[in-house]
Each structure stands twice: as structure tokens, then as C-alpha cells.
Amino acid sequence: EARFEQTGHAPLLSIRLVRVPFFVTGALLAFLVYAGMAPYYFSFAVFLQFGTGRTPLEAATVLTPISPAFAVVSLLAPRLAHQHGRQVLQWGGVVYLAACIVLAVQFFAAAGRPSIAALMPALLTIGAAQGFILTPLVNAILGMLPETHAGMSAGGIATMQQLGVAFGVAIVGRILFGFHAA
């Protein structure tokens, strides 16, 4: 890529961009956030089916409300991030973690089979918290990078997001199913 760029061509990813510390940090952060959040849906759906005996339809019903909560909040989050800065990301992370803990406590308190209605507040909160994290995170990363490499930066960050999703699901899948394969 460096040689390609030196000959006057447009590289897929400029070496100059990789030398920008915020790009590397932002790409790594995007990778880690997506590697941590994406497996949640996979592992939770598997747990609902195999751990609590729910049908695939019931598992989907439990997870479906997360999407509209995420969509609504992700539309509001950039405006709030503009007004309050990184605090939106920080509070989104705190609320996400708290909602995940509440969800886990609900499962333990109900001996692994809480009612779907009891799960909804925590699940809606998880979806909303993700809206406060994911959209402002990408905007914050791209906002700190050179405008001359905006498309390349966005492509690099999007690639790291997808790699994070694949990595996270692969690791969690191996953990969930690896013990049964032997």
C-alpha cells in the first residue's frame, strides 16, 4: 500500500493514516466495542433456547424490542453527544453495564426462567444504551481524523467493526459450543 501510494495511486488504507495515533486507538476501540457487544445477541439467543428451553420464536420475541430502542436513541445520541461530549459515551457504557447486570440478576432470581415481561425493561435499556454508545463512538472517532482521509478513515473503522463482530461471535461461539464438540 505504501509503494502504491508513492506512485500516485489511491491506496486502500494510507500508511499516513495508520501513523495517526487517534486512528489506531479509535480502530482498536471500535474493534473491542463491537467484539464485546455483538456476541451478546448470539449468546443470549442461544441461552434462551438451550439454557431456558424457550423456542426460537420466543427467543426472537425477547430480543426484538432491543432494535427499536436502539434506533430511536441512536437518532438522538449525536445531538446529545454534540452538547455533552464524551459523557454520552461514558454514561451509555455505565447504563449498558448496569442493565446487563440487572438482566443477569433477574435470571438468577427466577432460577433461570424469568418471564419475558420481566426482562423487557432491562432489554429496552440495553438497546437504548447501545444507541448512546455505537453511533457517537463512530462519530467521535471520525471527527478526530483528517478530513482529507474521511472516506478511508470511515472504511477502516467500518472494517474494524466487522472484524470485531466476527471475532467476538467466533470466540463466544467456541466457548458455548466448544465443550460439546469433544
* Rounded distance between C-alpha atoms, residue 87 and residue 81, angstroms: 8
Residue 181 has pLDDT above 60, yes or no: no
Distance CA 126, CA 144 (A): 27
Residue 119 one-letter amino acid: L
Average pLDDT over residues 103-129: 86
Residues 143-168: tens digit of each pLDDT:
888 787 788 888 889 999 999 999 99
Q: Where are the alpha helices (DSSP H) in the chain?
A: 2-6, 15-18, 21-46, 56-63, 66-84, 87-109, 116-143, 150-181
45-49 contact pairs (CB < 8 A, 24+)? 46/176
Most confident among 16-30, 34-48, 64-78, 142-156 (mean pLDDT): 64-78
| Model pLDDT, residue 179 | 57
> Against a cut of 0.75, is the pTM above it?
yes
pLDDT greater at residue 3 or residue 158: 158
